[in-house]
Amino acid sequence: MTWKDIGKKVAEAAPLLGNVLAGPVGGAAGSLIATIFGTEPDPDAVMKKIEQDPQAYLKLKELELNHAAELERLALQAETARLADVQSARSREIEVVRATGERDTNLYALAWIVVLGFFVLTGALMAFPLQEGSSEVVFLLFGGLVAGFTQVLGYFFGSSKSSVDKTRMLKRGQ
């Protein structure tokens, strides 16, 4: 069990708290939850307490309301780290072009392979029935391609939703 798993369950009662738990700073929010349930900050122990306590959702919602500013700060911290990572990837591309005078063709070749693989596999899944017993392997491959496809789109085109969310969080923080 991870904090991300708990975040999905907690989000039913406290969406902001669940979102923070599911992110890269989930351990900090997990420690806060462990405190209200009187347990060590371990995902398994916290989940056990949540499942045993009939008032768990009420406590989680109260925690979210009482610590909204801290939770928003943690969410903003996670988003800032994510954006710094994206920026460093884009800065790398600029530095490669400055140093060599050429774009990194491997980056573009890999991106095209992932995009074409995604569409070819999608088309194949729609056109041909799967053989008995092969669906798990095919869907595992498809899941990997979906993740890669999402990353390629995020790298080359950015994410307007996360940009809107970031702007909204920055406005609240000021």
pLDDT of residue 144: 92
Q: Which residue has the tokens 């406290």?
A: 14
What does the DSSP 8-state code read for residue 131?
P
E-strand ranges in 11-128 read none
Residue 171 CA, chain-centre distance (Å), reads 22
* pLDDT tens digit at each of 174 positions of the chain: 888 888 888 888 888 888 888 877 788 888 888 988 898 989 999 899 888 988 888 988 998 888 888 888 888 888 887 777 767 777 777 888 888 888 888 888 999 999 999 999 999 999 999 888 888 888 898 899 999 999 888 887 765 445 555 555 555 654
pLDDT of residue 165: 56
Contact 76, 169 (CB under 8 A): yes
Contact 142, 125 (CB under 8 A): yes
pLDDT of residue 167: 54
Q: Is the dihedral of CA 66, 71, 72, 73 positive or negative?
A: positive
pLDDT of residue 82: 75
Nearest Cα residue to 77 out of 27, 141, 131: 27
- Global pTM value: 0.49
